[in-house]
Structure 1
Amino acid sequence: MTLILSAMTQQCIVMVSDRRLTDSVTKKIVEHNENKVVLLADRLMLGYTGFAKLDKTPTDIWVAEQVTGSHPSQWLTILQERAAVAVRRVRRNYRVPPSKSRHAFLVAGWLPDESGVDRPHSFLISNFHDANGNDRSQPTNEFTMSTETLRPNDYSNLSWVGGLAKGGQERLVRALRVISKYSAQNPGRPDGIVEVLIKELLNTAEVGVGPGKEKLVGRDMLVTAFPRLAIGSGGVLMPMNPRYLSDRHVTASYLEDAWYHDRTRALMRYGPIVVQPDMILRGMEISDQPLKAL
């Protein structure tokens, strides 16, 4: 289980994702440090929930490999079509029942509208939502894609996919009001928006998901902020202080649960995969202590 939260304002888009992997059958924790976000062509952020591997490849790498070499305008359609095929293979090869095969991509970023002006867009590519973004009772064999655009008169929009704690949707409605008020008073600043999303994710991690309150969402997370001024700028900042966010550059920062409890511990952070039309950048690492000589 995963929780991906994305907030859009007229000047900034933020995505927060947890990093815990759990076995869909046993509910046991498999990994605490999985990257579930991919940055696409200085325009989009993509988070996923569902299978950690597609075609025996980690899903973030699988996403990068599927779209590289094609035009960015085709990327979302490519993912929609190829994810359906890959998930059907997983179902068949590992005898996964339909109820355990929910998979979705939440994509948010900057794309031009009909007049050529860059606007915040959100896309949900899913096998358990319909074309309007509503939940289905069971996953289907095909993936549908729903779209939301933040129009000039809109203050903000909040999207999510994955597991929420009881009362989570009502909490997100209240969170959206806070984000709208903050963005009106602090245009272009992602800090307050990030704090709201972090609070909601930590609440889900603490309370648990579903009637059984299962601990399927972790406290460790990846925070990614994409301000309007960063469109086309290239590169990603990876600050060691997870509270530092730029209003002019794409910023990706791990927020470690351990960061709160043991400041003397050496922490290694891994940057998200960055995809350009003709290349994949991966394996970025940053540590808060110098590397020891071999």
Structure 2
Amino acid sequence: MSLLETKWKDFQTVRYGPEEGQEGDLHLPGRQHPSVVCLLHGGFWRMPYGREELGSVATDLVSRGFAVWNLEYRRLGAPSGGWPETLQDVARGLDFLADISAAGAELDPQRAIVVGHSAGGQLALWAAARGGRRSGLRRPARIRPCAAAGLAAMVDLARAFTNDAGRGAVAELLGGSPEQRPERYADASPISLLPLGVDQLIVHGAADDELPVETARGYARAAVAAGDRIQYSELPGAGHMDYLDPASEAHGVLCQWLERVTTGRLEGSEGGSEHGGRDS
């Protein structure tokens, strides 16, 4: 059955490509022209971690009136996962929202927001920047997100390599160290792609034992210096996995920001930042 013949339901799994892992779960809220949130899960880009980690988050966001595209991608440990396929899948899956909309699904692909957790945060911020002149992976982007959120995100891949985040995950994804693969680090690391040119939210827990909060602080400062509008919220008691719980403070911060993005009520001005928990 072609996409144009699809009978759209409140929830269904949709393939955006022929390869294993090229699919996503589409949630529709049952109202006209909703903004769509594209979710990107973490797990250091590795199998067996998958989009089901963000299932509860997706359900909560739909209840708040958002369409949700909970995207899967080829991961390390799966056929063809890694560089550059993992990132290319995210680009292809995001662009596929245009096809889903054209086939009659009730969502507004021009009001797409990318939200990613951990390694998915790197993918979300990269997706917001793709099409920009700095990314060697750029391709004509059919969907350019209007905003991006990184939740305990891997925002600086060179520092993540130095810190051995995910026990070798960065080198596994990019095929080596920053010295061995400088062009790949430059093409994939969010901090190297600044300014992204879209509104951003960075939320990080001071108690995160996987990715140091200092890296998130450094990214927020660099984004402001580059002219991006960013809300940086640091949560004193939050750990690395809080964001998967819709009842958490971290999820509340995300929902408040999404509401402001979609209603045009973002605070501050270009180059401004907002801090929660810890001000800097």
The two structures share one fold, judged by TM-score above 0.5: no
Task: Report 1 or 2 for greater relative contact order, CA contacts < 8 Å, sequence distance ≥ 6.
Answer: 1
Q: Higher strand share goes to which structure?
A: 1
Greater Rg by CA: 1
Q: Higher helix share goes to which structure?
A: 2
State the TM-score, normalized to the length of structure 1: 0.29
State the TM-score, normalized to the length of structure 2: 0.30
